[in-house]
Structure 1
């Protein structure tokens, strides 16, 4: 028995030694990220890629060689210029390395349509993400390539349902930081809303208005719908109008209803803009609702420094509305904001409106 026990102990030591000498199992090898443009167009504004990783919260799509498709991260680069904030990414010198996860959910086919800005901003979602999805829908590929998205907010789901109608499937919401897509469509419309709106955005508008009218009687002419709107940004933290309370009081005295879009449902916003004859608003995401105005409506955009993009003007032109701008001549007080660990100038500021000049401008339009 002692001999057997000795043999067992020696065998155990050999197994333990072998285990300690065995090399540890290695995970996926990191790859250096590089930027490439999408090339395989399945339809206008729709590109096909295969065997890719997708970070839903950033919109990012990249392949096993670390090639990041530029259309998918165009907006995310504002937050993270080096893409080091992507899940699984880290900075090494001047290179960003990505380590693929070992436990990512797998989708055989998918449509990617939500970029980083659309996830966080009403105007980007309405005027970029929805036309992107519309491009795939019009190409007849939605059934084969179901839409995927990061976890969505209730208002985003409402806009999607209004555009898709009651029959089409809603996007699959991915909770994981990274997913594996066997084959994917990247919807990246050339008609970006910063440039010129086109047929895709018009199709989004028509679908939303048609489906909203079925469920909201306020979209029809109603005596209770205010005809003059002032869209308030009181309480905003990024572009603070210091004398907005005074402006609101002056607009209310002129018969304008004071509207705070963040406190309203999507359907109520659509109804208000649809019924308005004149809308006064500062530059900002709420002006995306100009998309739902009637032809002939008058839009007055208050610009703090003349550097804001004029996408509201272009949308107004597309639907036959009249757009005017009032540009404040005084310089804004710029501050810095912390984005992805870096202080960025010119991302937040406060400013003051010349009330006398602006009110004279508005009164001259009546």
Structure 2
């Protein structure tokens, strides 16, 4: 919904308080005395077409006050008491639920984008804090969030309202306000949410018993996750094919890695269900994300980022159902070619070889369902160095030349219409068989070349290096293995090499995505640093109905993570060679 601002009517000072006194609300000067200060913050919004959300209705005095004061606003009251439903009518709507139910509060955030929120609910610390964390992000830019009765954080109220929460609501808000006021000399934020607040607060006003927070007009909006088939009429759907997991072995893995692998193995059969594709009108893209003019972020565009906390200046809210931009952005006009429909072929992190192949390129298999009259204009990520050649080679195999491609940066970009292809992967654990089949099909003319036994190195990459690689390679070479460095090979050379390979040993990295081109029944041993899970490449081997061994090494780094250099040592080497000898 778009809102327009008109000048408020001439009104006497204290108009809101006068209405509050007539309505009998305890917010008036007869009781708390909030309203004269509130009016300083909301008078300019009086004639707006907007939503005002009030948590805590009670007998409805303040709800009726807001309805009278804001003649064009929808008033949404929230309360736990069914009796409050009697207030509904006209511009008043009542939502029933428990403020302590995070799913319920989240459902409010999913359905409403209020310009003003007044939180006057249970006054319990935990409820005040979680309501703020969930609801403040969906306050519209230039809006207001009020926490009432925050004096329950003090004195004799502590025992009644703390609820065992370790931090009072006032201390929580004060901590955020401290960082906001300190600005460039502030201590680091305690959380991404606190960082979001620091960047979007315009002001924090403390009054007796309440805190008033104004959001910057330049803050970004909320984008709610939605599937393409809910947005585009006539979207085309394709039913993907379920597939089964294979068994697998991990050697030397820690408990977390083993538990993760066990969960994946037992997710069988794997079913990605139905995927939808269609042409979206008035679309905006930001990185890989596709945003609609009505405030949705398409599920089909965020399969790789569904669980990351932030992306391209947007913060993911609880459950990944909402993304909130920290700042408004001004899109540039996207590339156009006369008579050709732009089709979005981007994915998060598609400068990575594996992400490009599986999460972006393979989606071209869905292109026919768009039923375009003419050849599309493919919108792909601007690439650097060898990856630009990889992407160009892939697209040429698929029948798209340089005139058919527009290379774009992260954006934002605005399109009058944009073809959006469904997602054929759930990163990182699952890929639809149709994705692997497309990669096989598009490279069908590439002839196999090289050894049936290969060792795949990534030591030239500079991180996640196998420190005892020379010892491993020496033993494998004696068993007829060819040393392969994919980073020094063209795309077609990599395809040809993996097509020929029957047994593959390698340091886990993007080059193992080439297993998509390998023979059915390929045997794979992946060497990994101790923190590296086994999911993305194991899943490809499932499609090939091969076998999989993961050998976990050890790192000497102070901070041991997926990027750490590592060694598999004598014991790991012995298990690897035993596995190899069983297969040659």
Query: TM-score, normalising length from structure 1?
Result: 0.72
**Distance change >3 Å, CA 102–CA 114, structure 1 → 2:** closer
Query: Counterparts of 1:71 and 1:182 in 2: how far apart (Å)?
Result: 19
Segments of structure 2 that go 5 or more residues without pairing to the other structure are 1-216, 239-274, 316-322
The answer for the alignment partner of 1:35 in structure 2 is 224
Any residues of structure 2 matched to 1:1-366 within 5 Å, and which? 31-38=220-227, 39=230, 40=232, 41-44=235-238, 45=275, 46-55=277-286, 58-64=287-293, 66-76=295-305, 81=310, 83-84=312-313, 96-101=325-330, 103-105=332-334, 107=336, 109-118=341-350, 120-141=351-372, 143=374, 145-152=376-383, 153-162=388-397, 164-165=398-399, 170-174=404-408, 177-192=411-426, 194-210=429-445, 213=446, 219=447, 225-305=450-530, 308-320=533-545, 322-328=546-552, 331-332=554-555, 346-353=561-568, 354-366=572-584
Query: Counterparts of 2:554 and 2:333 in 1: how far apart (Å)?
Result: 49
**Distance change >3 Å, CA 54–CA 335, structure 1 → 2:** farther
For these two proteins, the number of residue pairs brought into alignment is: 308
Using the TM superposition, name which of 351-360 and 301-310 deviates more: 301-310
- Report which structure shows greater RCO (CA 8 Å, sep ≥6): 1
Query: Counterparts of 1:142 and 1:324 in 2: how far apart (Å)?
Result: 44
Query: Counterparts of 2:352 and 2:558 in 1: how far apart (Å)?
Result: 21
Segments of structure 1 that go 5 or more residues without pairing to the other structure are 1-27, 87-93, 214-218, 337-344
CA deviation profile, 1:105-155 (whole Å, cap 9, x unmatched): 46484211211222x211111112122122123543383653211223111
CA contact (8 A) 2:527 2:550 kept: yes
Q: Displacement, 1:63?
A: 3.0
CA contact (8 A) 1:234 1:245 kept: no
**Distance change >3 Å, CA 143–CA 335, structure 1 → 2:** farther
**Distance change >3 Å, CA 360–CA 113, structure 1 → 2:** same
The answer for the alignment partner of 1:19 in structure 2 is none
Query: Counterparts of 2:301 and 2:530 in 1: how far apart (Å)?
Result: 30
Structural RMSD (CA): 3.3
**Distance change >3 Å, CA 188–CA 238, structure 1 → 2:** farther
Query: Counterparts of 1:272 and 1:143 in 2: how far apart (Å)?
Result: 36
Q: Displacement, 1:269?
A: 0.9
Using the TM superposition, name which of 249-258 and 295-304 deviates more: 295-304
State the structure with more CA Rg: 2
Q: Displacement, 1:231?
A: 0.4
